[in-house]
């Protein structure tokens, strides 16, 4: 079995030079992305190095409260990112998104670490934090797409929805097709990833384990679990957030809160 080859600081600096390709393209084509690239590089180094030191600390202490605290910070950060991506001002969706995230992410992460992987204890930081991070990172993209599509479709079809309401439909019945369209938008990326995995791409977790010297067969099984859990978490989180947010889009008189021409 191949031994693990550590990457030292000189190698990291060489890898940093690869970003110059993007920087040169931005300058040549006047894309004005240099500032974002610079900030992105700084945040990549700072955030990942901080997480590396934190994980070393967690592994050493093996304390359930600290592990859960780090997990909560990660999930709340994902909610903040979703809130920053979805530019909706007329509907208060932060609290519903937080509830959907906490319930779906926690359930999926616990099931994977405790039931599927069989980690003992279930909050073992070696498994719980990386699995929770993958669930949060992939599901927040789905949530952003789901909410963005739902709000835009409801705004564009406001007249149609209110016509259904006038004919006696409930807000759920009036937005059934919009609900399905938004849910589909959130789930399609995860499904597409399953279609191409192994054929077009070797995903991060599998690649990381192979680079670390793990048996490729073991790495494949872990990656299958990861792909399936991502599909499950995106579906669960998207369904929950739509059910919680949908009613907030209507007034007590059953008119749509969203202005069509905002």
Q: What is the pLDDT of residues 217-256, one digit of tens each?
A: 888 899 899 999 999 999 999 999 999 999 999 987 778 8
User: Mean pLDDT across the chain, nearest whole number?
Assistant: 89
Instruction: Give, for 95, the enclosing helix (H) or strand (E).
Output: helix 94-110
Q: Tell me, what's the pLDDT at 201?
A: 67
- Which of 112-116, 122-126, 255-259 is predicted least confidently? 255-259
What's residue 262's pLDDT?
47
Average pLDDT over residues 43-52: 91
| Residue 246: exposure state from Cβ atoms within 10 A (0-12, 13-18, ≥19) | buried
**What does the pLDDT average to over 131-156?**
92
| Residue whose structure tokens are 């950060």 | 77
**Helix or strand or coil: residue 201?**
strand
**Which range, 2-6, 15-19, 65-69, 211-215, has the best average confidence (pLDDT)?**
65-69
> Above pLDDT 70, what percent of the chain?
97
Res. 55: pLDDT tops 60 = yes
Whole-number Å distance between alpha carbons of 143 and 159: 25
Domain ranges of the chain: 1-61, 64-249
Can you give the pLDDT at residue 198?
75
Residue in the block written with tokens 């599901």: 139
Please state the pTM of the whole predicted model.
Answer: 0.83
Q: Which two tokens stand for residue 245?
A: 């947010």
260 and 155 Cβ atoms separated by less than 8 Å: yes
pLDDT tens across 191-203, in order?
A: 988 888 877 666 7
More confident residue, 206 or 170: 170
Share of the chain above pLDDT 90, in %: 61
pLDDT at 69 > cutoff 60: yes
Kindly give the residue spans of alpha helices, DSSP state H, lying in the chain: 9-16, 19-28, 34-61, 64-85, 94-110, 125-156, 158-166, 171-174, 176-196, 204-211, 216-246
Give the lowest-confidence range in 33-37, 214-218, 226-230.
214-218
Helix (H) or strand (E) run with residue 93 in it = none
Highest-confidence segment of 59-63, 80-84, 250-254: 80-84
Is the model's pLDDT at 46 over the cut of 80? Answer: yes
Is residue 215 left, alpha or beta, with left meaning phi > 0 and alpha meaning psi from -120 to 50?
beta
């Amino acid at each position: 079995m191949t031994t693990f080859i550590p990457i030292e600081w000189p190698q990291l600096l060489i890898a940093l030079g690869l970003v110059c390709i993007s920087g040169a393209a931005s300058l040549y084509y006047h894309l004005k992305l240099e500032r974002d690239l610079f900030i992105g590089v700084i945040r990549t180094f700072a955030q990942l190095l901080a997480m590396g030191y934190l994980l070393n600390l967690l592994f050493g202490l093996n304390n359930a409260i600290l592990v859960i605290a780090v997990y909560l910070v990660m999930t709340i950060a994902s909610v903040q990112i979703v809130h920053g991506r979805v530019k909706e001002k007329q509907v208060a969706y932060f609290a519903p998104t937080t509830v959907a995230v906490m319930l779906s992410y926690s359930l999926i992460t616990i099931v994977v670490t405790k039931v599927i992987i069989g980690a003992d204890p279930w909050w073992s930081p070696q498994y719980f934090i990386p699995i929770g991070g993958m669930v949060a990172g992939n599901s927040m993209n789905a949530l952003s797409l789901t909410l963005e599509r739902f709000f835009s479709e409801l705004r564009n079809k406001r007249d149609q929805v209110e016509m259904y309401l006038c004919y006696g439909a409930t807000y759920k019945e009036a937005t059934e097709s919009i609900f399905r369209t938004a849910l589909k938008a959130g789930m399609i990326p995860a499904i597409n990833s399953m279609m191409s995995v192994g054929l077009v791409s070797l995903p991060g977790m599998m690649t990381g384990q192979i680079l670390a010297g793990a048996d490729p067969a073991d790495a494949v099984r872990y990656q299958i679990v990861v792909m399936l859990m991502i599909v499950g978490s995106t579906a669960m989180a998207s369904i929950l957030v739509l059910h919680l947010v949908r009613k907030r889009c209507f007034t007590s008189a059953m008119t749509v809160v969203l202005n069509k021409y905002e």
